[in-house]
């Protein structure tokens, strides 16, 4: 790969969060939701699942040179449990915790992971129905977890979710219902139907009165972060560029590193599509804001207009900067990663953080605004592979 930054469209929408400047401590209220200590249970659980293995961490040397920084670390989630996304960790873990708690309420003691995996509770779980709304990857994880443990699954998708993503969920025996509205409307429909039919919502977004399950989803994501810390072998990044939809992953990453590294934590930059920047708009306002409209973006997994409440509880003071990237920065990054040695498969929602880093690295003002220099060590998370194979072929190969 060469001259990537020369073809990357040079557009960023930038907002610095002054509330983060004074927020040095990761306090008890945040630790109650997400902490390194609470994350240990998720690692113990998920590492016991069949076919678990840590995903690769790459150093993108050529890209770092072009961005005139020291290092770019890229955590590649394209191989996670065969689901091609970090979300395999979150939804399935939340399903696990709900089923353990459900069986515990019936029998007075929660089953172990080994007991749950053995199938001995198959009859007790066959009529339990879990449900969620999704852009694709979260629903696929919930469906996979449901199939793994033997409960039923109903998934809601919005009008713009591709047929390929729908089929990927149906492959895990989920019933998929498509609505005519956008993502946030699918969330509301799933919740309304769950209340009517006695289903259990396993959502990655939280709202008033609904926080425990999304917190478990976020804790599932921290398995990826525990792997990262080990793979970095004591090195602490100076910057993290992390793409965001409702903010669940961004909050998990921010909170985990904040709790772990305290005042040494990296500068934390949240990246969103221009048309779906609910976190940036909330940061500007200093309170939760909804982005209305179609939320149209090629980065389908980031097409969210409403911030998760528990995510905002962390990011309101934990995120240093909020950036938007233009749509035409996506394909060049996907193509460059495919040409990397070894080849890295990155879906359209995986590269927003990388694109923001590379674009900022080429502009003196943005370098200064973000504190980027020749000593900077940047971490980005490649959150998915080709979860929509047809779109991947189109964007990477023009097929």
Residues annotated catalytic, as ranges? 87, 135
Order of strands across the sheet that contains 267-273: 12-16, 321-325, 267-273, 239-243, 377-382, 71-76, 57-59
Contact 293, 254 (CB under 8 A): no
d(CA 213, CA 99): 12
Q: How far apart (Å, rounded) are the C-alpha atoms in residues 388 and 399?
A: 13
> Residue 43: which residues within 8 A CB-CB, separation 6 or more?
222, 223, 226
209: its two tokens: 């009165």
Question: Pick from 39, 13, 22, 15: which is nearest to 252 by CA?
Answer: 39
Which residues, including other chains, have CB under 8 Å from residue 240's CB and lie 6 or more apart?
253, 254, 257, 266, 267, 268, 269, 353, 378, 379, 380
Nearest to 348 by CA among 276, 296, 297: 297
How many whole angstroms separate alpha carbon 285 and alpha carbon 18? 12
The Cβ of residue 114 has, within 10 Å, a number of other Cβ atoms equal to: 9
Tokens at 69, concatenated: 């920084």
Where are the strands (E) in the chain, listed by range?
A: 12-16, 57-59, 71-76, 129-134, 152-157, 175-178, 200-201, 239-243, 267-273, 321-325, 377-382
CA distances from 361 to 134, 358, 368, 389 (A): 33, 5, 9, 30
């Amino acid at each position: 790969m060469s001259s990537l930054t020369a073809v990357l469209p040079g557009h960023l929408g930038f907002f610095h969060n002054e509330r983060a400047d004074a927020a040095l401590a990761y306090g008890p209220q945040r630790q109650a939701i997400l902490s390194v200590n609470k994350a240990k249970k998720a690692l113990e659980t998920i590492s016991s699942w069949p076919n678990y293995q840590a995903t690769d961490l790459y150093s993108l040397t050529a890209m770092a040179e072009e961005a005139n920084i020291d290092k770019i670390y890229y955590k590649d989630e394209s191989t996670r449990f065969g689901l091609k996304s970090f979300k395999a960790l979150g939804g399935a873990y939340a399903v696990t915790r709900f089923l353990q708690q459900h069986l515990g309420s019936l029998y007075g003691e929660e089953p172990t992971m080994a007991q749950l995996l053995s199938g001995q509770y198959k009859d007790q779980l066959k009529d339990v129905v879990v449900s969620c709304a999704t852009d694709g990857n979260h629903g696929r994880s919930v469906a996979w977890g449901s199939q793994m443990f033997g409960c039923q699954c109903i998934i809601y998708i919005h009008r713009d979710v591709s047929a390929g993503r729908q089929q990927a969920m149906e492959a895990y025996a989920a019933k998929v219902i498509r609505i005519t509205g956008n993502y946030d409307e699918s969330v509301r429909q799933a919740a309304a139907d769950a209340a009517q039919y006695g289903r259990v919502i396993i959502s990655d977004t939280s709202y008033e009165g609904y926080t425990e399950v999304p917190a478990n989803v976020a804790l599932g994501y921290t398995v990826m972060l525990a792997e990262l810390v080990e793979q970095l072998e004591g090195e602490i990044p100076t910057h993290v560029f992390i793409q965001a939809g409702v903010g669940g992953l961004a909050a998990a990453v921010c909170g985990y590193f904040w709790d772990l590294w305290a005042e040494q934590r990296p500068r934390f930059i949240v990246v969103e599509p221009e048309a779906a920047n609910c976190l940036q708009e909330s940061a500007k306002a200093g309170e939760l804001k909804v982005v209305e409209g179609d939320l149209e973006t090629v980065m389908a997994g980031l097409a969210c207009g409403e911030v998760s409440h528990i995510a905002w509880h962390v990011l309101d003071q934990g995120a240093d900067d909020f950036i938007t990237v233009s749509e035409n920065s996506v394909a060049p990054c996907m193509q460059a990663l495919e040409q990397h040695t070894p080849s890295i498969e990155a879906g359209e929602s995986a590269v927003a953080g990388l694109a923001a880093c590379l674009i900022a690295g080429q502009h003196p003002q943005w370098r200064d605004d973000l504190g980027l220099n020749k000593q900077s060590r940047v971490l980005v998370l490649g959150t998915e592979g080709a979860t929509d194979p047809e779109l991947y072929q189109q964007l990477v190969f023009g097929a």
